[in-house]
Structure 1
Amino acid sequence: MPLMRTVLASALLAACAPVLAGTVTVITSFPKDLTQAYKSAFEKANPGITLEILNKNTVSGIAYVRETPAGQRPEVFWASAPDAFEVLGREKLLSPAPDAANAEVPDKIGSYPINDPGGLYMGQALAGYGIMYNTRYIKAHKLTPPVEWKDLLAPQWFGHLGMTAPSRSGTMHLTVETILQGEGWADGWQTLLRMSGNASQMTERSFGVPDGVNNGQFGAGPVIDFFGLSSKYSKFPVEFVYPSETSVVPANIALIAGAKNTEEGKKFIAFTLSKAGQELLLEPKISRLPVLPYKDLAGKIPQGYPDPAEIAQRSKVHFDADLSQTRYYVVQALFDQTITFRLSDLQAATKAIYEAEQKLGDKAKTGQAAELLDQARKLAWSPLIDPKTAADPEFLKVFTRDKKDASTNKQITQLEGEWSGKAKANYEQAVKLARQAAAL
């Protein structure tokens, strides 16, 4: 009997005890310096809860959530790209978490809502997009410090840039969209093609660009601000500038629908939005812009730290997340087929044009040589899709359908093959025309 009473007492105690805290899994594209700081601080503030970081680029993260069955998904999605959250929301893969919000967070940054009006995700930090450059590198190569995107299109920047693709990086996707929205479809793609023609490499991840600028592999590259700022405040020989065509938008956090541990997932979201969570953003190795107003973080803001309200006010771009979301996969596919997978061909065309311009001098401005060079530039630096097609709802629908559907997959594969083949032919013809011009 004593043994029976002991077993019963143990069972009763177990039934009355609080449920043991579990694991909160966060899927994120953010670097380890940031995620480790939040893991340590959150676990210290919430004994018994383990924070598991599942690091994937934003595009892979969306695919992971989409492909994981309900009831087995991670709890939290945390990334910089608002259009990625629009995609997840459209596919009903996010759940509102209003009890995790911080009422002190303003409604807007400039004209852009910090939190999703539909309540599916919240801004956790603010992010701008710009140019990071290595001060020693540009001095050694006698390059002018860039201020605007257009500065990176100059012939002297050929071979000195590092870039990544929007299909590999949510932050690069935002940079691409910022340029497209700031300049319009046709002019924006011309900027992207010319900038990519000057690139020496398309890195595998967004981290590859700032790492390459830090170590002098690249002279400059387009990055999200926290890459440039964290390197600068960590004493690397780098600077970061916001072009006039930039956007300040929230880096978001959201509760995933069908997660295993929803309530504790909300606790983590609430922690990141608390004053303690926001102050972590200001650590030198992180260097992100908080969503809490600077007045609420008095004494914590480093001297000379960027003011997101001021950047948003002077920016020429009012970012449209809905527009970005509707053409999300089209932009990625077009970039990959005409730039990422055709980089050597684009580089060759760009180099041939520069060499012809340099050889011809003033002769490149008039006559047959000018006509040939103009044709070469159009072939190398014009998008394969015109603005009307890019805005056609029926065309855009093709890329939002389920790619597991055989007919959809066939249609997309055929389009991508056509773009790739056309890009290759255009670049090769541009090289021939530029060389013909140079021979005159």
Structure 2
Amino acid sequence: MASALTIKAALRWPVRILIIWLMLVSQVSLSADMAKVVVMTSYPQEVVSQFEAAFEKQYPQYKLEVLWRQSRDAMAYFKESGQPVDVYWTPAQRNFAQLEKMQAFQPLNLDLDGLPAEVNGFALREGNHIATEIAGYGIVSNPQALTNAGLTIPRNWTDLSHPALKGKIALPVPSKVGYAPLLIDILLQGYGWQAGWNLLQAIAANAELVTSGATFVSDDVASGRLLAGLTIDFLTASAIANGAPLQFVYPELTGYSPAHLAIMKNTGNLEGARAFSKFVLSEQGQRLLFHPDIRKLPVRPSVYANKPAAYFNPFEDNPSFVYDTRRGFARQDITNALFDAIITLNLASLQKAVSAIQDASNQSGPDASEVVKATQLLHSLPIDEAGAEAIRTLNPAEVTRWQRIMHDRYEEAAKIASPH
């Protein structure tokens, strides 16, 4: 009996092996029929996975292969690697500008009907690259912590300068935090050079500086240690989606950071690259940006007709402020250095001067001579806008000189405001 069972089992093995072999052959055949589309991105897994699944469902003939690279690593890869990339898709504006100069992109040759060329001055397509979503700048706050402190939710940048918020604001440093240079320049262009720096000084007087780890803004505000911060929407959105007690407000004067897509000149699969690009910009692809794990702002205005409740629409209003993107990028290194000289490297002296002026104003009134004189000195910048924009090469010695000038002016302003 045992012998008969053994024989039957042995006879069944070839059949099992044949089935397994057929399955492997069919999988290899299926893989051979699916063309690979190589996409380089810095987007996190929760973003990419949504697009990957939806794209492969709509285009079953293609298989997405994702190369994750941060901005600096991506440029090194493009310059040094001979391996082809089909699509570059990421929020790294300066990389796209540099790659355009290198003539690294194919013409898109896509139907762009329904896709605007700009929003409030922020270009959504230039050369051979196009924006696929935009992130908006604004204020994150902790409503319950503010209520407990007897304060209201800040809704405009100027609200962050209120003395009651002293020590409770998170302010990112543009030379250290990736999204911050554009944020700072939005205030400089929106309010004007002098008024913009005055406001930044006033906010800094209430602030802790964020020099790395941009998510620290949301973390510190969510914990209640800080009450509000200047940030970009998607960082707060992910925190809120994970249960953080936060609220994000887009001030009336705001701006956007577009993320772009381009087809590489050395693509090994041009049709697949165009299929993926077309999908990301399509109604279906753009609606994926509303997903709770993503929460980005689509660049196709028509999809906002079905947006989630209270979802911000950057195309609804036409504010008088229109940002000059080219001007902002051209002077970015200078404004970053000025921020460090005026604020980062002189924060203690700045806060001391502002505190002294506030005390003098409370005691003698805002029109008192010492208050006026100290305030004028506080706001006396080391260089005007025309001078800053005329600089072609940033000299570290000049930045040090700016720092010393502002330090001396802050110290003198504090003495004038509190002579005793």
Q: Would the TM-score normalized by the shorter structure come out above 0.5?
A: yes
1:78 to 81, 84, 89: 89
Cα displacement (A) at 1:133: 1.0
The alpha-carbon distance between structure 1 residues 197 and 357, as it changes in their structure 2 partners (threshold 3 A), is: closer
- Confirm or deny: 8 A CA contact 1:360 1:438 kept in the other structure: no
Distance across 2 between alignment mates of 1:255 and 1:189 = 39
User: Who is 2:352 aligned against?
Assistant: 351
1:192 to 200, 208, 211: 200
Q: What's the % identity of the aligned pairs? A: 27
Cα displacement (A) at 1:183: 1.8
Distance across 2 between alignment mates of 1:185 and 1:126 = 25
User: Who is 1:407 aligned against?
Assistant: none
User: Who is 2:385 aligned against?
Assistant: 387
Q: Where do 1:368-383 residues align within 5 Å?
A: 369-370=370-371, 373-374=374-375, 376-378=377-379, 382=381
Distance across 1 between alignment mates of 2:86 and 2:181 = 24
Asked if 1:96 is matched to 2:100, the reply is no
User: Who is 2:307 aligned against?
Assistant: 301
User: Who is 1:226 aligned against?
Assistant: 234
User: Who is 2:163 aligned against?
Assistant: 155
User: Who is 1:115 aligned against?
Assistant: 125
Q: Where do 1:307-318 residues align within 5 Å?
A: 307-311=313-317, 313=318, 315-318=319-322
Distance across 1 between alignment mates of 2:406 and 2:355 = 17
Structure 2: any 5+ residue segments left out of the alignment? 1-27
The alpha-carbon distance between structure 1 residues 332 and 40, as it changes in their structure 2 partners (threshold 3 A), is: farther
1:38 to 34, 46, 51: 51
Secondary structure of 1:33's counterpart equals: helix
Secondary structure of 1:37's counterpart equals: helix
Name which of structure 1's ranges 280-289 and 182-191 shifts more when overlaid on structure 2. 182-191
Cα displacement (A) at 1:207: 3.0
1:321 to 322, 325, 345: 325
User: Who is 1:361 aligned against?
Assistant: 362
The alpha-carbon distance between structure 1 residues 19 and 233, as it changes in their structure 2 partners (threshold 3 A), is: closer
Cα displacement (A) at 1:55: 4.6
- Confirm or deny: 8 A CA contact 2:161 2:203 kept in the other structure: yes
Cα displacement (A) at 1:150: 1.1
2:397 to 409, 413, 417: 417
| TM-superposition CA deviations, 1:381-405 (whole Å, max 9, x none) | x3x331112232xx23x3xxxxxxx
Cα displacement (A) at 1:286: 1.6
Cα displacement (A) at 1:420: 3.2
| TM-superposition CA deviations, 1:255-285 (whole Å, max 9, x none) | 3455676654444333321233212100122
Normalised TM-score (structure 1): 0.75
Distance across 2 between alignment mates of 1:95 and 1:170 = 27
Cα displacement (A) at 1:168: 4.2
The alpha-carbon distance between structure 1 residues 334 and 76, as it changes in their structure 2 partners (threshold 3 A), is: farther
- Confirm or deny: 8 A CA contact 1:112 1:319 kept in the other structure: yes
- Confirm or deny: 8 A CA contact 1:346 1:427 kept in the other structure: no
Distance across 1 between alignment mates of 2:241 and 2:96 = 30
- Confirm or deny: 8 A CA contact 2:360 2:371 kept in the other structure: no
- Confirm or deny: 8 A CA contact 1:83 1:321 kept in the other structure: no
Distance across 1 between alignment mates of 2:269 and 2:294 = 27
Count, aligned residues:
391
Structure 1: any 5+ residue segments left out of the alignment? 1-13, 399-411
Cα displacement (A) at 1:156: 2.2
Secondary structure of 1:304's counterpart equals: coil
- Confirm or deny: 8 A CA contact 1:132 1:228 kept in the other structure: yes
Distance across 2 between alignment mates of 1:324 and 1:272 = 28
Distance across 2 between alignment mates of 1:165 and 1:93 = 32
Distance across 2 between alignment mates of 1:310 and 1:216 = 33
CA RMSD, 1 decimal: 3.5
| TM-superposition CA deviations, 1:27-83 (whole Å, max 9, x none) | 33x455323433444455556634324252x5x3675467x2374475444344656
Secondary structure of 1:200's counterpart equals: strand
Cα displacement (A) at 1:362: 3.5
Q: Which has the larger radius of gyration?
A: 2
Secondary structure of 1:385's counterpart equals: coil
- Confirm or deny: 8 A CA contact 2:343 2:350 kept in the other structure: no
User: Who is 2:417 aligned against?
Assistant: 437
- Confirm or deny: 8 A CA contact 2:304 2:313 kept in the other structure: no
- Confirm or deny: 8 A CA contact 1:80 1:170 kept in the other structure: no
